[in-house]
Amino acid sequence: MMFCPRCGSLMVPKREGSKKVLACTSCSYKNKKLEVATLKERVANKEKEIEIVEDKVEGLPLTEAECPKCKHRKAYFWLVQTRASDEPETKFLKCENCKHTWRDYS
């Protein structure tokens, strides 16, 4: 990319007969030498190996809640805005023991 030495605007390549010149987009300045630049692009095709984790470690906070399925007394929880923004969030719970998921609307 070249800029005009007179006004500082971007210079673009144009044809004048059989020659290519750089011409300013704002003033009438023309550079008779067209500097040729080559662009090289190298794409590294490195595929990452997919790691499968069997035992997912929960990164959610724990609370005291009774699972309706196994009656365990601790569960992970998170909040999601499932309705309009002026209504309260929905609390989701996931049993620490059996991994059963349920909602708490209170």
pLDDT tens digits, residue range 18-38? 777 888 888 888 876 655 555
Low-confidence residues in the chain, pLDDT < 70:
1, 32-41, 52-58
Positive or negative torsion for Cα 60, 65, 66, 67: negative
Give every strand in the sheet of 2-3, ordered side by side: 2-3, 10-16, 19-24, 30-31
Residue of 47, 87, 96, 104 marked catalytic: 87
C-alpha Rg value of the chain to the nearest Å: 32
The residue from 54, 86, 96, 104 that is catalytic is 86
Does 87 qualify as catalytic in the annotation? yes
What is the set of domains in the chain, with CATH numbers? 2-31 (no CATH), 62-104 (2.20.25.10)
Q: How far apart are alpha carbons 39 and 20 in whole angstroms?
A: 18
Q: Answer yes or no: 86 catalytic.
A: yes
Q: Which tokens sit at 105?
A: 């609307």
Query: How much is the pTM?
Result: 0.45
Confidence at residue 100, expressed as pLDDT on a 0 to 100 scale = 93
Can you list the positions of beta strands (E) in the chain? Answer: 2-3, 10-16, 19-24, 30-31, 62-64, 74-80, 90-95, 101-104
pLDDT value of residue 36: 57
